[in-house]
Amino acid sequence: MRTFCQYEEGEERDSEVKRRKRRRERETNEKIDKGEASRKTRIERNGAREMKKKEKKRIK
């Protein structure tokens, strides 16, 4: 295995590339998770809103 100074200009270690790729995947997964969570809460709020409307209609 070569030391860092022996690497050519523009050449990277596989471990650095893999680490960067894993970080990018993790960030995208976190964004997806946030989107899913916000979508679920939005659906829950909409569901609650619908229930309130139905309740009002039932009372009238």
pLDDT at 10: 61
pLDDT (tens digit, 9 = 90+) per residue, 2-59? 455 566 656 667 788 888 899 999 888 888 777 777 777 777 888 888 888 888 888 7
pTM of the model: 0.40
**What is the model's pLDDT at position 22?**
92
At 57 the pLDDT is: 81
Where do the domains of the chain lie? 26-60
Buried b (16+ CB within 10 A) or exposed e, 5-41: eeeeeeeeeeeeeeeeeeeeeeeeeeeeeeeeeeeee
Q: What is the pLDDT of residue 23?
A: 92
